Amino acid sequence: MENRIPLLGERFPEMKVQTTHGVLELPKAYEGKWFVLFSHPADFTPVCTTEFVAFQIRYEKFRKLNTELIGLSIDQVFSHIKWVEWIEENIKVDGKPVKIEFPIIADDTGRVSSKLGLIHGAKGTNTVRAVFIVDPRANIRAILYYPQELGRNVDEILRMVEGFQVGEANKAAIPHNWPNNELVGDNVIVPPAMSVKEVEERNSAVKKGEIKCFDWWFCYKPVK
């Protein structure tokens, strides 16, 4: 069987994983919730430490979006535990110790990483930086892929989760850099009309002030 990163829209593969919070069954453990699974090259490395701190200090924001976090690397579980202890003992943000509260998968056999396509020989035998955003139906909604030498932007991952949820709730698409888009601000994009009738309905909605348009194919509306 080919080992590859699953495709967008596919169901997240079922697997049983050992974590710092015990054994979890994915995606069942997060049934009814969004979750973000992110891999990192190794414990006790500078860039990975900055990322874990960033995820932790935004953890409450993810939780408010009904979203859980779970990390992964090919280190053993005792290494994860010791690294988490080191972070709490040595890293402070705004004068407070950083305690990593989300679980980390210990994939020391490489089984999970191979199944998800996270190990690339040209980049070594450890995991590259990947992000899977998974919805409450266990469908993969987004995949971000980074080389080992470049840290991620956790605010962008948070923005993506919120954008998916707002888009679904409003039956709309999300523009560039939402909610700070240069053309439509914090509004969302109305899907393009697919028939003459829809164009007429759209023109009527414009007259009622329900939506605004640059043209019939480029319309936007406020978030409800």
* 104, 72 contact by CB (below 8 A): yes
Name the DSSP letter for residue 12: P
Active site amino acids: 48
pLDDT value at residue 123? 55
Measured CA to CA, the distance from residue 183 to residue 186 in angstroms comes to: 9
Radius of gyration of the chain (CA): 20
Predicted pLDDT of residue 127: 78
In CATH terms, the fold of domain 15-152 is Glutaredoxin (3.40.30)
To the question of pTM greater than 0.75 for the whole model, the response is: yes
Q: Which of 150, 167, 189, 161 minimizes the C-alpha distance to 33?
A: 161
Q: Per DSSP, what are the bridge partners of residue 71?
A: 38, 104
pLDDT, residue 3, reads 55
CATH topology of domain 171-224: Antioxidant, Horf6; Chain A, domain 2 (3.30.1020)
Written as tens digits, the pLDDT of the chain (224 aa) is: 455 678 999 999 999 999 999 999 999 999 999 999 999 989 999 999 999 999 999 999 999 999 999 999 989 999 999 999 999 999 999 999 999 999 999 998 888 888 888 876 655 567 778 999 999 999 999 999 888 889 999 999 999 999 999 999 999 999 999 999 999 999 999 998 889 998 888 888 899 999 999 988 999 999 98
| Domain extents in the chain | 15-152, 171-224
Please check whether residue 134 is in contact with residue 165, taking contact to mean a CB–CB distance below 8 angstroms.
no
